[in-house]
Amino acid sequence: MAGKGTIAILTGGGDVPGLNPAIRAITIRALRDGYRVIGLRRGWAGLVDLVPDDEADNSENMIDLTEDIVNRAGRTGGTFLHTSRTRPTHLPKGAVPEHLRSRYTQDINDVTPDMLKNIEWLGINYLIPIGGDDTLSYAQRLSHEGVNVIAIPKTMDNDVPGTDYCIGFSTCVTRTIELAHRLRTTAGSHERFLVIEVFGRYAGFTALLPTMAGAADRCVIPESPFDVERLTELMVHDRDRAPSRYSVVLVSEGARMQNEDEMSFEGTEIDQYGHRKLGGIADKVSAKIKELSVKYNKGRRINVVNQRLGYMVRSGDPDALDSIVPMAFGNLALDLVERHIIGRLVAVRNGIYDNLPLDVVTGRKKVVDVERYYNTDRMRPIYDFHRQPIFIMTSDE
């Protein structure tokens, strides 16, 4: 063990561009400050599956990080530590590793006692998880159990409470704008509606910000159930005004039509955090506006280009902001380590780098303030920017 102790890093939940730059920043700073740094593989799964035995092969669960390793990875997207949606408090019986099966026999198990033993066995002095509110909710649990946790927010949806910005959001917005503009050529060539489904389970930031930037004429978001007939009317109006006779709507995956009780799901399978895989709302919207277009287009039907962006916005290299912010977050985390300030979330608040108690991640939901930022009748953003930070909607809504 290095002179100052051991720092462990993990990444959980969905991959986003910017994770590797964060790992790089933490590792280089920590090594030069005299710490040993280990990477835990596959999020919380690396700690779940770890065998606390010197003779065991734990190469699938952890790795000692060096400057050479993180320098090569730091310029790339995704996470070289890999990731998962493992939830140690809700581990299905079939996911319990073989060496723990005699102790955990229920259908759903809380393996936290062995997580704590593994953290102690590894000699981890500080744990830095990088993830969304699901991953960080378990980090909060470990913090309450006495583990020295300093967390970094990551999610394309930008919906971790307490911070204006989460790693991955800028690249997501950048890609959404770019891909929406590419798809315009097909929509315009055929004089169609263009319906684009984007990420956003509970929060509509990934639809609202690109629409503000001109990627779409309209957007529908999870925070406000929408009238699909009104949307059709607006889309026909936009199409009539466009020289190439097409119009564009961004649809958050978690959006719902009025009178629908739940979101649109791909199947019935539920992950360990209780989430079903979203998808299909754009298909519903496309079919409905195509059907209703006859009413608003002088009896003629308007066809639809329907595209789900999906993993295209979360793959590949980070943009400039998702290279810079993770670097800053990593160094801010090490500042807290050096001062032994623990149980904190590194954050951006009102455009300023900051940190706050980790408990904020489970205290409330971060969603779009509809009254302030979204015109529910016009289904488009409210353009109010005076004294707002760069990403408009702050963590204090």
Cα 297 off chain centre by: 39
Catalytic residues: 157
DSSP one-letter string for 72-99: HHTTSSS-TT------GGGEEGGGS-GG
Q: Which of 375, 371, 380, 374 is nearest to 235 (CA)?
A: 380
Measured between alpha carbons, how far is 276 from 268 in angstroms, rounded to an integer?
Answer: 6
Contact 188, 182 (CB under 8 A): no
In contact, 290 and 193? CB cutoff 8 Å? yes
DSSP result, 172-183:
HHHHHHHHHHHH
Q: Of all helices (H) and strands (E), which one includes residue 249?
A: strand 247-252
Contacts of 19 (CB under 8 A, 6+ apart): 11, 78, 79, 81, 130, 154, 167, 168, 326
- Helices (H) and strands (E) counted in the chain, each on its own, are 12, 17
Q: What are the two backbone dihedrals, phi and then psi, of residue 242, each rounded to the nearest 5 degrees?
A: -85, 135
Q: Is 395 exposed, middle or buried (0-12, 13-18, 19+ CB in 10 A)?
A: buried
* 210 to 106, 147, 249, 357: CA distances (angstroms): 46, 39, 11, 31
- Secondary structure E strands in 12-60: 36-40
Burial class of residue 5, CB neighbours in 10 A (0-12, 13-18, 19+) = middle
- d(Cα 328, Cα 381) in Å, to the nearest integer? 30
Are the beta carbons of 137 and 361 closer than 8 angstroms? yes
CA atoms within 13 A on the CB side of 174: 15
